[in-house]
Amino acid sequence: MITTWPAPGKLNLFLSITGRRPDGYHTLQTLFQFLTYGDTLTITPQAEDQIQLQTSLPGVPPEDNLIIKAARLLQQATDCRQGAVITLHKQLPLGSGLGGGSSNAATTLAALNQLWGCGLSSAELQQLGVILGADIPVFLYGQAAFAEGIGEQLQPAAPQELWYLVAYPEQAISTAQIFNHPHLQRATPPRTLKQCLTPPYSNDCEAIVKKCFPEVEAVINWLLHYAPARLTGTGSAAFAEFSNQIAAQQLLNKRPSGVRAFVARGVNRSPLQQALANHAKERQGGSWR
C-alpha cells in the first residue's frame, strides 16, 4: 500500500542563543511554529528490511540522508525487520532554516512507526529523533512549542496563526558555519516563558547571517519595507508577517528578480499529526492493511 505523508516546514518566530555547552552545542530559547507548506514523502512498506530512497539530493550522499538514517534508527531501536521504498517530493530548499531535513526525518520516524506497527510513543520517537538532530523532536511533538536546551526541551505554545511570505535567495547556509562564527551573540540572558512569548521577536543569528551573506540581507531589507520581517533559524530564508493571505500574496507578486518565495499560514498543529490521525483511523476501520 502506497501512503503519502507531509513533512511541513517550520519557522523560528524568535531565536535567542543563551550559551554554549562544553560539547560545542549551543543552548537556546526559541518559538517553533509549523507551516502549511513543505515536502512530501511517499512510502511503500516492504516485507524485507531494506530501505530504498528513490530521490537523491544534490551534495547529500545517500548514507548522510536523514530519511535513510531515521528509518534505520527505527529498525534498530525496535528490532523491526520490515523495510520501505521512499520517494521524497522536495519543496523546502536546503540550508534555508525552514527545517526540511529535520522534518523529513521526523515524518519518516512517525510514519514508519505506524506503518510497521512499532508502537513507540511520541515521547519515545522524540528521544530517537534528537539523536539525529536537535530540530527533529519538535516535528514529532506536533504542536507549536517554546523550546529550550538545544531545542529538544519543549513546552506547548499557541502563537497567533498568521500568514507569512517566506522569501530566500539562491543560497544554502550551513548551520555549523553560523554557530561557529566568532562574533555570534551567545550570551542573551534567558527569559521566562511569558517574556519570551511577548512580541516583538528577534533572531540572534540574523546579524551574522546578514554580515556573511549580503543577498540574505537584501531579502530582509526588501521585506521590511512592507511588514515586520526577520530571519528564521540559521538559514537563508526570511519571513514577513501578514494578517491575511491576500496581502501576503500581493507582496509575493512583487518579489525582486532572483528571489524565491512562497505564501503559507503558520499553524500550531503540525499537518503531520493530522495525517497520522487519518491513517490510524483508516487502519482501524479496515479500509487498508
Residues with catalytic function: 10, 135
Q: How many Cβ atoms from other residues are within 10 Å of residue 236's Cβ?
A: 26
- The whole-angstrom separation of Cα 107 and Cα 136 is 9
The partner residues of 17 in beta bridges, in order of sequence, read: 28
CA distances from 127 to 6, 86, 130, 213, 218 (A): 21, 23, 6, 34, 39
Question: Please, are residues 128 and 74 in contact by the beta-carbon 8 Å criterion?
Answer: yes
* Strand pairing report for 83-89 and 51-53: parallel
Q: Is the peptide bond before 182 cis (omega within 30 degrees of 0)?
A: no
Q: What is the 3-state secondary structure (H, E, C) of 67-117?
A: HHHHHHHHHHHHCCCCEEEEEEECCCCCCCCCCHHHHHHHHHHHHHHHHCC
- The whole-angstrom separation of Cα 73 and Cα 97 is 24
Q: How many Cβ atoms from other residues are within 10 Å of residue 16's Cβ?
A: 22
- Please name the residues in contact with 157: beta carbons below 8 A apart, sequence gap of 6 or more: 31, 32, 143, 144, 145, 146, 197, 268
- Please name the residues in contact with 67: beta carbons below 8 A apart, sequence gap of 6 or more: 41, 53, 86, 88, 104, 105, 108
Residue 63 C-alpha cell reads as: 548514507
